[in-house]
Structure formats: C-alpha cells, structure tokens
Amino acid sequence: DGGITQSPKYLFRKEGQNVTLSCEQNLNHDAMYWYRQDPGQGLRLIYYSQIVNDFQKGDIAEGYSVSREKKESFPLTVTSAQKNPTAFYLCASIGQGDQPQHFGDGTRLSIL
Amino acid sequence: GQNIDQPTEMTATEGAIVQINCTYQTSGFNGLFWYQQHAGEAPTFLSYNVLDGLEEKGRFSSFLSRSKGYSYLLLKELQMKDSASYLCAVINTGGFKTIFGAGTRLFVKA
C-alpha cells in the first residue's frame, strides 16, 4: 500500500537541542510539505518542495530547516532557534496540483 | 492578504443536517478542498470543488461560488462519528501551495 510514513509519533526535545522529524513517501509524488498545527488552529505551512534538491519557505519557516535529497524523503529539523516548538507536525505530498494532499499520521513534539 | 474564514465551533443533533460555511480571499484560486480531521489524527480528504456549483458524495455535499469567494460543506443524516474538525483549504494559482482555514469543530449530540 502506498502512503506517507512519519516518525517518530511522539518526540521530546531538550533545551538547545536540534531534533529531526522523518517523512517518507512511496507514492512517487513530486511535491512534499511540512505543516505545523497548534491546538484549535489550522495547518500552517513551514516548508515545501516541488522537486528533488529544491525547496521553499512557507509562512513560518524561522527556526526550521529541511532537505530534499531524494524524491521519497523530506526530513524536517526543528532547531534550537525555534523557541516554541511544541505542536503537532504533519507531512503531506501531492501528485498533481488539483489532487488532495496525502498526509502522514503526524509527529507530536513536546519540550522536556 | 490571504484569508480563509470558518466558524470556530458548531453543534448539531444526530440525524440532522448541518452546513459549515467558508469564505476566502486568496491571491489566485485553483480549487477548494474540504478535509475532516479527528482529534490527534491527520486530515482526510472529503471533497474538491474547482467549478461553481454543488458536488455530492453520499452524505456529504460541497458548494462553491467563486465570484463570492464562498463555499459550504453540507453534512446530512449526522452520526456521532461525524464529530470532528472540518478544514476548508484553497489551492492557489500554480497548484502547489494550499492555504488552510483554522477549521470548524463540529459536535454531534444524541
């Protein structure tokens, strides 16, 4: 079955620590996205990538970094510069622009 | 600017019909999606509108008026499992960037 796999499901970050959230897809989709969701709010775009080796900042990119070295993988690093990282992080992909986004199950990040 | 507005919360009774409205102002429009999201889970796709009019899919229907920047999601024969958040999302021109509304939390009571 094709889909998007995010890991881990739960993640805890210590002060001053960088953490990396994994996102892998086997849907052969070109475009991939990272969103942040805070309680009671919608999805806010962090970064997106339309093709391998290319990515663009979304609306809230500060304190985050990404890479897209392979079509299947789009990891997100939450750096120590992100002072309020506690949130639900969702990875998504699209095959074509008029198709719905396929989402992973999400990673819940908390501060220790 | 870009903005999508939805009511924050709605309550309806099991078996009834509920309409969730969405208004949008975005720089370009290439289609509108509705997603359902249960607490702590990922959103799941419900419907897609790109042309004006009504799209029906079982108990769910979605309407779009591009000239008014307006859409609604209609849920019929409500069930308890329909209690969830409903997200309105617009794809901008170019088709690769989606803007999400904050979502409407629907509570279905017996």
How many of the other CB atoms lie within 10 Å of CB of B106?
A: 21
How many of the other CB atoms lie within 10 Å of CB of B37?
A: 20
Tell me the chain B residues in contact with residue A101 when contact means C-beta distances shorter than 8 Å: 33, 43, 45, 98
Identify the pLDDT of residue A1.
63
Interface list for chain B against chain A, based on CB atoms closer than 8 Å = 4, 8, 30-31, 33, 35, 40-45, 48, 50, 87, 89, 91, 94-103, 105
Tell me the chain B residues in contact with residue A27 when contact means C-beta distances shorter than 8 Å: none
Q: Is the pLDDT of residue A97 over 70?
A: no
How many of the other CB atoms lie within 10 Å of CB of A76?
A: 23
Location of structure tokens 């308890």: B80
Note the pLDDT tens digit of each residue in A13-48. Answer: 888 899 999 999 999 999 999 999 998 888 999 999
Span A90-98, mean pLDDT?
Answer: 85
CB distance A20 to A76 below 8 Å = yes
Give the CA dihedral B104, B105, B106, B110, nearest 10 degrees: -170
B102/A41 touch (CB, cutoff 8 Å), yes or no: yes
Note the pLDDT tens digit of each residue in B22-77. Answer: 999 987 888 999 999 999 899 999 999 999 999 998 999 999 999 999 999 999 99
Residue type, A24: E
* Phi, psi for A38 (deg, rounded to 5): -100, 155
Alpha helix segments (H runs only) across A1-112: none
